[in-house]
Structure 1
Amino acid sequence: MPTAARLGAAALSATLLTGVAAGPALADSPSPTPAAAPVADGLYGKGDPTYDGVWRQSLALTALTAAKVTPADSAVGWLTGQQCEDGGWPSYRAAGAACDPKTEDSNATAVAIQALVALGGHQPAVDKGVAWLKANQNTDGSWAYNPGGAGDANSTGLAVSALFAARTDPASVAKAGNGGVGAGKNAFDGLARFQLGCAAPADQRGAFAYQPDAATGALAPNALASAQASLAAAGGHLPVAGSVRADADPKPLACADGSAPAAVPHAEAGEAAGAYLTAQLTTGSEHLTLTTPGAAPSPDYTATAWAALALTQSGHPDQASGAVDWLDAQEAAWTKNGTDAGATATLLLVAQAGHRTTADLTGKLTALGPTPKATAATADDAAPAKKKNTGLGQFWLIGIGLLVGVGGGLLLSLQRKRNPQL
């Protein structure tokens, strides 16, 4: 059974990803609130990194690299230094602290892999991270937040995106089992077990559940699970290039009575998820909504951002544009006026995918970490100036040559008139 500390860490991490304030961790008995971890040199953001250090660092490095910023060595070194010998990453570990395999998590590992792929030059660390994902895959093809737990759509989606980034075919990644049910299922199979298909009501088809209901196995749509898993279903990873465009709206699941498959086929998963997200954004004033027991529904910034990324990845930037506009209008509230590194990095990734103006967000994110080695502007300034070859030099030479020739001919003609013997 997970310890109270691990339950608290998982709950807080999940809360951070949804962009809301964290509540107190549940515990068997009262315990003192742990002191905030010090912010290390090289880390983006000034907040306590205990639950999101690797997450926000990975997103920041990915977004800045896409903005043609060369991060400081200390920023990259902080992330690579968090990796454990077995290849996984925890959410955070203090400098000099030993790795605890039980605290390594698939979410941190997945985004760290994507960041290092984007940076380039870190193939050994990427390979070790992919090996860790393979070793900690469940036999049903899914991934849990921490090794050994039940799989969930968010963690599985992030892991599949990391595999795509590392150029590893998710269909080839399957954990060998002991002959039990689900043994040998691949990563696409693991993702499919969380997606609502033709058995669901029409307005829920294509959505992803966080996990099946423990008692009934039923699937209920979840906003963040749908958004993060949809990027993987569409074959995407961070950063999203946004270079593909489809002419039509996302295609809903085609469900014929009595003949539809129990699971959503992989070939249809991305479009089905895109159709669901588009409908949710349209009816939700261009944003997704966070619903938690005992709390009033509230806008879900993070889920909306991942929905925009997923739709752009699947070739539907027009369907994502309203969400991008809404996020842009909510920048101050979500990023805490540019002081939240994780939110600022995510918003920058969305703006980049949507081909929006990114200079302001790039500057704000850059200011939250160590001075970069180079930015797009400084790189241009440092490059030697190239002289433009307009062709005028060649034309001047030809013109001068013609003038000399004409002048010489006139002079020779005059001399012959004066001296006929020439």
Structure 2
Amino acid sequence: MTTAVRRAAASLLVSALLCGGAALAPSATAAPGRAAVTHASPSGSPKATADRRDTGRHGKKAAKKHHGYRPRPGDAALYGRTNPARDGVARQSLALLGLYAASLRPAAPAVRWLQAQQCADGSFTAYRQTPTAPCDPAAPRDTGATALATQALASVGGQRPRLSAALNWLRTQQNPDGGWGSAPGAPTDATTTSEVIGALAMAGGRPSSVRSPFTDNQAYDALVGLSLPCSASHGAGGFTANPPAPGQRPVADAHATAEGLLGGIGKRFVVAPVQPGPAPSCDPAGAATPEGVARNGAAYLAPLLTPEGAHLTTDSGAADPAATADAVVAMCAAGYGRQAAGALHWLERNGPDWAKRTGPAAYARLIFTAHTAGVDPARFGGTDLVKALQATGLPAAPPATPRPGSSASARPSATASPSPTPSEAAMNPRAVAPAADADTSPVLSGGIWWVAIALVILIAAGVLFVNRHSAHGRPRG
């Protein structure tokens, strides 16, 4: 074998090893919960946000509404089989995040389905029936769905251009108070603002560096503005769903408070367990800081979640498993898991049946809850949530890396990071771009990469040895 042939063979072997290592290493960057709250659309109607919040709520009502719907061939990779017109992007995003929380890599077609829903300007609508055609400029953009899709795409890694486009679009939709509404021009609401905070943080950015071009306010300023003071006669420490109109008395909303708590501490949907600490109390001194109002929000939620069998309800008084799950995630992420134990037990008894009626988004929410509370999602109230979620769509790849955060216990290990994502990095407030995405994927930083490097070195050494041996043994002319 000639030297050229030997070198070509070695080169091909190295390439195969590297490609194989990259294919074996699952790509994951990073994901917090979200409550079912109704907020106003630009026209004053709460429909836009309510539609997105219906993902994971009101299972029987949704099933009747979509009776007779036949899935389109282009939606074969979409999780769930109900009409996606109102919640397709949100549903798919939550499903992908649920798989990420379970350390599973989504099937490639499921990721491609979500990618195809993105408009050229970086935004997402609730659902695009014909993703091969450009987005209609008049089609309503969905701020919350864009934030959820950003979190989901960040969780699979290697999505830097798409993340940059989505984050830059979100930046252009920031309201003067620093927050975001459910759609462009809509009043700020706690849920959407917290979803965008999670998207910014998950993409490796610092939410506090993204400021409104109108006033220089940032997202945390908006959350502070939505909080009630500890001196309030009703709802002390809670959050309102939207800023009250002039002369209107602010009213605390438990669902919005759960979101405000999670956003105020800068967390995402998938968050590692935090060791429980002392019970929260409403502290007037903290009313001017994001973390302070978040802790005050926890003090408002604690009495609603502590008793055995406690749960949040809808405006009509019906049990709201989605909002309850979001509240448990927020309380556990803030270190108040003991105060949410009653609600967790209620979800273990009632959540699986609700999710079975509702679909993939509900299963994903319960997986977030189990993950943050330190409960095995494969044994949540006698149900394997992960298997149930996968049954609603394409099967995912088996676990290949440690979970985003330990869910074996509510007490994290001494070496575990308090968050599954990279530390918040500096971000240009005028041109939002993720500070960490593909470059922090296990493809580049995991053990398989180092194994590949070691093999390259060994192969190169072997080729060099063979070349030298051949040169020494070659007869001189």
Per the normalisation by structure 1, the TM-score is 0.76
Against the structure 1 CA distance between its residues 18 and 73, is the aligned structure 2 distance closer, same or farther, given a 3 Å change threshold?
A: same
**1:37–1:94 CA contact under 8 A, matched in 2:** no
**Structure 1 residue 231 and structure 2 residue 262: aligned?**
yes
- Structure 1 CA distance for aligned equivalents of residues 136 and 252 of structure 2: 33
- Report the count of equivalent residues: 353
| Pairing 1:98–2:134 present | yes
CA distance change for structure 1 residues 35 and 311 in 2, over 3 Å: closer, same or farther? same
Residues 319-338 of structure 1: pairs in structure 2 closer than 5 A = 319-337=339-357
**SS of structure 2 residue aligned to 1:336:** helix
Equivalent-residue separation in structure 1 for 2:48 and 2:330 (angstroms): 27
Looking at structure 2, the residues matched to 142 and 333 of structure 1 have their Cα atoms a distance apart, in angstroms, of 35
Q: 2:318 matched to 1:310?
A: no
**Equivalent in the alignment of 1:84:** 119
In the alignment, the residues of structure 2 paired with residue 120 and residue 195 of structure 1 have an alpha-carbon distance, to the nearest angstrom, of 35
User: Which residue identity does 1:225 align to in structure 2?
Assistant: A
How far, CA to CA, are the matches of 1:2 and 1:188 in structure 2?
21
Letter in 2 for 1:184: D
Give the aligned CA root-mean-square deviation in angstroms: 3.0
**2:276 and 2:332 in contact (8 A); partners too:** no
- Which stretch shifts more, 265-274 or 127-136? 265-274
8 Å CA contact retained: 1:19, 1:302: no
TM-score (norm 2): 0.68
Query: SS in structure 2 opposite 1:309?
Result: helix
Gaps of 5+ in 1: 24-32, 178-182, 380-422
Equivalent residue in structure 1 for 2:190, among 130, 135, 153: 153
1:35 to 1:107, Cα distance in 2 relative to 1, 3 A? farther
* Higher alpha-carbon Rg: 1
Deviations 1:45-65 (A, max 9, x none): 111111111111111111112
Secondary structure, aligned partner of 1:49: coil
Residue number in structure 1 paired with 2:275: 245
Gaps of 5+ in 2: 1-39, 379-383, 403-477
Aligned partner of 1:196 in structure 2 is: 228
Residue number in structure 2 paired with 1:205: 236
Question: Are residue 354 (structure 1) and residue 405 (structure 2) matched?
Answer: no
Alignment-derived partner of residue 218 in structure 2 = 186
Letter in 1 for 2:263: A
Counterparts of 1:8 and 1:131, CA distance in 2? 25
Alignment of 1:13-32 (within 5 A): 13-16=52-55, 18-19=57-58
Deviation, structure 1 residue 84: 1.1
The answer on 1:375 being equivalent to 2:398 is: yes
Structure 1 distance, partners of 2:108, 2:45, is 31
Contact conserved, 1:204 with 1:221, CA < 8 A, in 2?
yes
Report the 3-state secondary structure (helix = DSSP H, G, I; strand = E; otherwise coil) of the residue aligned with 1:320: helix
**Which deviates more, 318-327 or 73-82?**
318-327
**In structure 2, how many angstroms separate the alpha carbons of the residues matched to 1:21 and 1:75?**
26
* Percent identity for Structure 1 against Structure 2: 35
Supply the distance in 1 between the matched residues of 2:308 and 2:257 (Cα, whole angstroms): 15
Shift of 1:286: 2.0
Question: Partner of 1:69 in structure 2?
Answer: 104
Distance 2:231 2:311 in 1: 26
Return the alpha-carbon distance in structure 2 between the equivalents of residues 355 and 283 of structure 1. Answer: 19
Larger relative contact order (CA 8 Å, sep ≥ 6): 2
- What is the letter of the counterpart of residue 344 of structure 1? Y
Per-residue CA deviation, residues 157-182 of structure 1 (Å, 9 max, x unaligned), is 111121121222221111111xxxxx
Q: CA deviation at 1:320?
A: 2.4
Q: Which residue of 1 aligns with 2:3?
A: none
Answer yes or no: is 1:169 the counterpart of 2:206.
yes
1:317 to 1:88, Cα distance in 2 relative to 1, 3 A? same
Distance 1:118 1:253 in 2: 35
Q: Does 1:341 align with 2:377?
A: no
Report SS of the residue matched to 2:331: helix
Q: Distance in 2 between matches of 1:217 and 1:199?
A: 17
Closer, same or farther: CA 176–217 of 1 in aligned 2, 3 Å: farther
Secondary structure at 1:51's aligned position in 2?
A: coil
